[in-house]
Amino acid sequence: MTSKDGYSWTKAQGLRAGVPSIGVIEPPSNVKSADTVYDVIVVGAGYCGLTAARDASLAGLKVLLLEARDRIGGRSWSSNIEGYPYEMGGTWVFWGQANIWREIARYGMQDELEISYDFSRGINKYLLSSPQGTQTFTHEEEDALMQSSLAKLVNVDGCLGKTVVPFPHSGVLTPEARKYDHMSVADRLAEIKNDLTPNERLCAESFVLLCSGGTLETTSFYEFLHWWALSGYSYEGCIDYLVKYKFRGGQSSFAINFFKEALASGNLTYAFNSPVASIQHGGNGVQITTRAGQTYKSAKMICAIPLNVLNDVAFDPPLAPGRKAAATTGHVNQCVKVHAEISDRDLRSFTGISYPHNGLIYGFGDGETPAGNTHVVAFGGQHNHFHPEENLEHTKAAFQGFAPMNIERLVFHNWSKDEFAKGAWFFPAPGLLSTHLKDMRARERNIVFACSDWALGWRSFIDGAIEEGTRAAITVRADFAGRAKL
Ligand code: FAD
């Protein structure tokens, strides 16, 4: 099936909107009667909504899942082009992420992971490209450079940030954590400007921008420390947790299991291509109206849509002021993630930075396609932001910023222009978490708000989405059981 989402380009076919994905659901709806009153309506079929819908339907609740798109997975989905999965959004997973690993084990997918890198052949080099030219390092030198630059960045306490974020899965921001949340990474870099070598500065800045998709000024220093803490306070940990292990069959091969299990319960009704326009809620329940004018009713609702699009749904009564303010501020991540299939086989083993002049900042060999070509993935963001489909020559030139390469295919999803995401993974500007984390997590009457964007642990990750979907289903089940609410 082909989704309306995503783009691909080849010389022969030109630019095409829409790419094939096993995450597209056919038929798009199994709604039998418009009059059914559901126990719970889940809005959003990303990992959070899928987890919530599955857990609630397995618990015997009558569930309706409403999704704006034609597919599951939200910000994590893969396209299968000529038998090869290109990850359009969320990609890498790790066994240290407890929620995701529980689900990988549940579906018996422990042996379906592969490693993105292959340093066994080809140029096997780290290319550090700046306006001054390209320097070449071994991967061992890359690791040493990255570790030393990030250690200097996070070492606010003489213990690599361990005293600032001692419990990375806690939702409590201590006064010290708040102090760093009001600071940007640009502020922190100014503090250590005499301690970093020019190469360390390039490495630190580009790695931070890879994480936040914002600018150095709009990146909360606390949230970077939080990622660092979650990754075991080391650069090696960051690689293991953030960019190493992915599904051989693509993210959609994982997400589909959640949907199939929910469906098999017999309690799941669903409707895709159904953007929700408005939500009325009171003491007795919830009434949801789609853009097409279809209304659905339920006792409870789980709202599993991202922060940056919350204000696009009309809530009556309106969203609580703190949540509304958080959604108005939004998160800052405007990541540009683009895949290139290239005929240069030697580049399978390259990793590289192209900064601060280039639109794509961070890139590396991510796989080998069935044609034997190299698959390179590259990331940009708010820094030198661009829309890949608007100027393909610019997009291709951005890849040449790492090394000369012959591009045969491009594949990407424009997350900035995606009306149901308006950005990539959550990353906060200074102050957002200290001011609004609690507000984002609060329930409003019969609506539980759940999303990776305000998870406590792996916030911004698939693991965080599963954490939140689990919390939402438990909360709603407790409501029906008359137990204390979470
Ligand atoms: P979403 O996936 O955004 O799901 C929300 C759903 O709500 C969507 O399907 C959306 O269509 C739907 N929706 C929105 N508005 C409406 C409406 N009005 N009516 C009905 N439905 C609506 N995470 C990792 O763990 N590892 C990674 O390597 C990684 N890389 C990433 C790379 C990119 C480019 C991106 C974009 C994300 C990445 N992430 C990664 C983050 C991860 O993808 C997300 O944190 C996670 O998928 C979010 O899940 P969610 O269910 O909370 O939200």
pLDDT in tens, 100-140: 999 999 999 999 999 999 999 999 999 999 999 999 999 99
What is the rounded CA–CA span in Å between residue 40 and residue 478?
A: 13
119 labelled ligand-binding: no
What is the rounded CA–CA span in Å between residue 65 and residue 384?
A: 38
What is the rounded CA–CA span in Å between residue 426 and residue 430?
A: 13
What is the rounded CA–CA span in Å between residue 380 and residue 43?
A: 30
254 labelled ligand-binding: no
235 Cα to the center of ligand 1, angstroms? 25
Domain count, the chain: 2
CB-based burial of residue 74 (10 Å sphere; 0-12 exposed, 13-18 middle, 19+ buried)? buried
pLDDT in tens, 383-396: 999 999 999 999 99
Token pair belonging to 255: 């997400």
Output helix, strand, coil percentages for the chain, rounded to the nearest 5. 35, 25, 45
**153 contact partners, CB below 8 Å, separation of at least 6:** 185, 188, 189, 192, 204, 208, 224
458 Cα to the center of ligand 1, angstroms? 13
pLDDT in tens, 1-24: 999 999 999 999 999 999 999 999
Residue of 310, 425, 460 to mutate, ligand 1, most atoms within 8 A of C-beta:
425
CB count within 10 Å of CB 73 equals 32
Co-location of 229 and 345 in the same domain: yes
Residues with CB under 6 A from ligand 1: 43-49, 66-69, 74-76, 89-92, 275-276, 304-306, 309, 313, 335, 337, 415, 420-421, 424-425, 451-452, 460-463, 465
- Average pLDDT over all residues of the chain: 97
What is the rounded CA–CA span in Å between residue 469 and residue 101?
A: 15
Co-location of 312 and 447 in the same domain: yes
Q: Ligand 1, atom 7: nearest CA belongs to which residue? A: 44
453 Cα to the center of ligand 1, angstroms? 9
Co-location of 229 and 318 in the same domain: no
Q: Ligand 1, atom 33: nearest CA belongs to which residue? A: 89
Q: Is the pLDDT of residue 150 over 70?
A: yes
159 Cα to the center of ligand 1, angstroms? 34
Cα separations (Å) of 85 from 23, 81, 187?
A: 12, 6, 39
Co-location of 144 and 121 in the same domain: yes
What is the rounded CA–CA span in Å between residue 263 and residue 27?
A: 13
Co-location of 134 and 210 in the same domain: yes
By C-alpha distance, which of 135, 140, 152, 157 is closest to 197?
A: 152
Residue of 42, 76, 291 to mutate, ligand 1, most atoms within 8 A of C-beta:
76
Residue 176 domain flag: yes
Residue 85 domain flag: no
Residue 233 domain flag: yes
What is the rounded CA–CA span in Å between residue 269 and residue 289?
A: 16
pLDDT in tens, 45-84: 999 999 999 999 999 999 999 999 999 999 999 999 999 9
313 labelled ligand-binding: no
pLDDT of residue 349: 98
| Stated length of the chain | 486
Co-location of 214 and 325 in the same domain: no
What is the rounded CA–CA span in Å between residue 164 and residue 178?
A: 10
Q: Is the pLDDT of residue 187 over 90?
A: yes
Average pLDDT of the segment spanning 241-260: 98
Co-location of 410 and 451 in the same domain: no
76 Cα to the center of ligand 1, angstroms? 6
> Strand 362-368 vs strand 276-282: parallel, antiparallel, or unpaired?
unpaired
Residue 44 domain flag: yes
Co-location of 165 and 313 in the same domain: no
Confidence band for 483, pLDDT divided at 50, 70 and 90 = low
Co-location of 347 and 219 in the same domain: yes
pLDDT in tens, 284-321: 899 999 999 999 999 999 999 999 999 999 999 999 99
Strands (E), 205-284: 245-247, 268-271, 276-282
Strands (E), 103-262: 113-115, 126-130, 133-137, 245-247
Q: Ligand 1, atom 53: nearest CA belongs to which residue? A: 46
446 Cα to the center of ligand 1, angstroms? 23
Token pair belonging to 305: 């849509």
Co-location of 282 and 348 in the same domain: no
Q: Which residue has the tokens 């029906």?
A: 480
Provide the CATH number for the domain around residue 144: 3.90.660.10
Q: Cα dihedral angle (72, 100, 87, 367), rounded to 10 degrees?
A: -150
Co-location of 176 and 288 in the same domain: no
Residue 53 domain flag: yes
224 labelled ligand-binding: no
Co-location of 475 and 367 in the same domain: no
Of the chain, the end-to-end C-alpha distance in Å amounts to: 39
Confidence band for 484, pLDDT divided at 50, 70 and 90 = low
Strands (E), 161-275: 245-247, 268-271
pLDDT in tens, 329-348: 999 999 999 999 999 999 99
Q: In what order do the strands lie in the sheet with 14-17?
A: 14-17, 7-10, 407-412, 336-342, 374-380, 362-368, 351-354, 126-130, 133-137
62 Cα to the center of ligand 1, angstroms? 24
Residue 362 domain flag: yes
Q: Which domain holds residue 283?
A: 2-77+251-329+423-482
Confidence band for 482, pLDDT divided at 50, 70 and 90 = confident
